[in-house]
Structures are given as structure tokens and as C-alpha cells.
A = this chain, B = another copy of it.
Amino acid sequence: MKRKSQAESAVPRGGLAALSLAQGKRARLWRLLYASGPANGTLMVLPLDQGLEHGPTDFFPNPPAIDTAYQVRLALEGGYSAIALGVGLAEKYLREHAGEVPLILKLNGKTNIADDAEATSPAFATVEDAVRLGADAVGYTVYVGSPRQDQEIREYGKVRRECERLGMPLVVWAYPRGRDVEAKGGKGSLYAQDYAARVAEELGADVVKLHEPLPETDGCPEPYRSLREDAPARLRRVVRSAGRVLVLFSGGVKNDDDAAVLRKVTLYMECGATGVMFGRNMWLRPMDEALALTRRVRALLQRHPR
């Protein structure tokens, strides 16, 4: 794909301008927003941490995807803003393409073998690893509302400090999780996603990855329980709660209906998202279909410069 020149893309960068960033953070975030992918202030990120989070199970629908070279090729040929990988995959598969696609180094993760009642996500890499590998951001999961939130938040705080010290943008996977979240309506509820968005802002994320909130409000605390909002209203609400943090929406499980996927992207962007982080919806498709869908998502993002 052809990269946009800096001049071409640099016009409407509201999102970045509104942030108070150390110079290194700004430089790296600018690269992600205006010199990579759609390069118009939006973000199209290809994540691959499902092998750790869910196991090889996730690759069964598209066996070639077990080989990370598949996702790297997709990220490169599809012109993504960045690929998000843990240190193991980044070191083994991205080295030969270092510099060709920006890296978001995912620092922590866990398996799903034990259940999520007391979920916590340990780090196995550091912000210094990200610097060493030439990454343009780090990714970090925070399990919002987990019974072990004190450990979650404390460990997060150390990563945030390191990001500050090294000028590294911080992308927070803000995931409501744990038995108390389930008792209050579940991790997908508007209550949970809205709270997670705010937590990301309060904790000092630069970018937050969220899930589209579900319509069900059973079990949620008030005022959410009585709230009846349609999908756009729900999305706008969580984007608003994230404040000046750039919001990416997750794709979640694979949807075979391309048109539905594209409608989602349009909806997210119209509701204020900065972009999308779609994994399984991309790399579980055969390469030609994945590239075709990628091009259409890119085209949609092009229509929503930030």
C-alpha cells in the first residue's frame, strides 16, 4: 500500500492535539495516527494475543492463522496502523519486517484455563522491551472491578510510570471482569463498559480498547438498569466516558457477515471512536477475504478523519 505523506494526513488531528503528551509519547502516537494505516487520525489495529488468552482453539476456523507469519503478512499488506503482539511473537515474527508496520507490544496476559472470578493479568514483558523492539506503543490489560483490582491497578501504575519515563504511548485493554462484575450485569453491559471507559481515563491511558456495550441491563446497578438506550447512544456514552482517551472498539468473536462487520465500523466511527482493533474478524478469514475486508474497513476509516 501507498503511505500518505505527512502533509496529506496531518490536517484534522483533534484527538492528538487534545492530549497532553510527553514528546516521545507524542512522536510515537503521531506516527500511529498520521504516518501509518489510514493515516488520518484514526487507528486500525490488528491484535494477536488470542493464542495466549484463549489457546490455539481460536485458530481452528482458519488453521493457517496459527502461524503468526499469517497475521504479520495481513498487517503489512492490509496497511494496518499497527499490529499488537506479545514479546514472544514480536521477537520471532516481526524482526524481519521491523519498521514496516508499527508494533504495539502487549505486555501482560494469561490463559483462560482457570476461570475469571478473580482475574488478574500478569506482565511478562516491560516498557523497556518495547523500546528495545522499536515499538510505538505498549498494550496492557486492566481487569476492571476484579476482586484483585488492587494488584491490577498497582501493577498498571508501574507500567504507566515507565511509559512516562520512556515516552511510550499506553493502550489499555479496559476489560470489566470478575465475580462482582458478573453479579452486576456482566462484563458486556453498558454499566460495565461505561465504568471501564472512565477507569481508563482516570488511570491515565492514552488509548483504550473497549467492547460495544450490550443492550441488556438486567442485574446492573441503577441508573443503568432502567436506562433504555439504542446502540448509538450506548456507544456515544462510553466514548464520552473515556473523555480525551482515544477509543478503539474490539471486534470480538468472528462475524461471517462482512456487511455486518462494516456496519459496525461505521457505527463506531460515527459515535466517536478513533478506530477499531479487530483480530478474529480479520485473521480468521482466508487471506484474500481478510485483505478485501481490511480494504473496506480502511476506506470507512478514511471517511472519519480525526
**Residues of A with Cβ closer than 8 Å to B?**
18-20, 49, 51-52, 55-57, 60, 66-68, 86-89, 91-93, 95-96, 109-111, 113-115, 120-126, 129, 132, 144-147, 149-154, 156-157, 160-161, 164, 176, 178, 180-181, 184, 191, 194-195, 197-205, 221-224, 237, 240-241, 243-245
Contact = CB atoms under 8 A, between A and B. Distances in A.
A241 B224 CA distance: 40
A55 B198 CA distance: 7
B124 A203 contact: yes
A236 B176 CA distance: 37
A121 B96 CA distance: 35
Q: Give the most central of A19, A144, A194, A243: most B CB within 10 Å.
A: A243
A56 B241 contact: yes
Contact of A121 (B150, B180, B195): B150
A240 B67 contact: yes
Contacts of A120: 150
B124 A224 contact: no
Nearest to A53: B202
Given A66-B240, A123-B154, A91 B145 contact: no
Contact of A92 (B19, B110, B111, B147): B19
A110 B191 CA distance: 16
A191 B60 CA distance: 12
B202 A88 contact: yes
B156 A55 contact: no
Nearest to A238: B56
Give the 9 A-B CB pairs with smallest separation, nearest first: A113-B145, A124-B157, A20-B95, A88-B204, A52-B202, A55-B195, A122-B154, A122-B150, A122-B153
A219 to B, nearest CB: 13
Given A113-B181, A198-B56, A129 B161 contact: yes
Given A55-B194, A111-B145, 15 more contacts: A51-B202, A52-B203, A56-B194, A56-B241, A67-B243, A68-B243, A86-B203, A89-B202, A113-B180, A113-B184, A113-B195, A114-B178, A122-B152, A125-B157, A125-B161
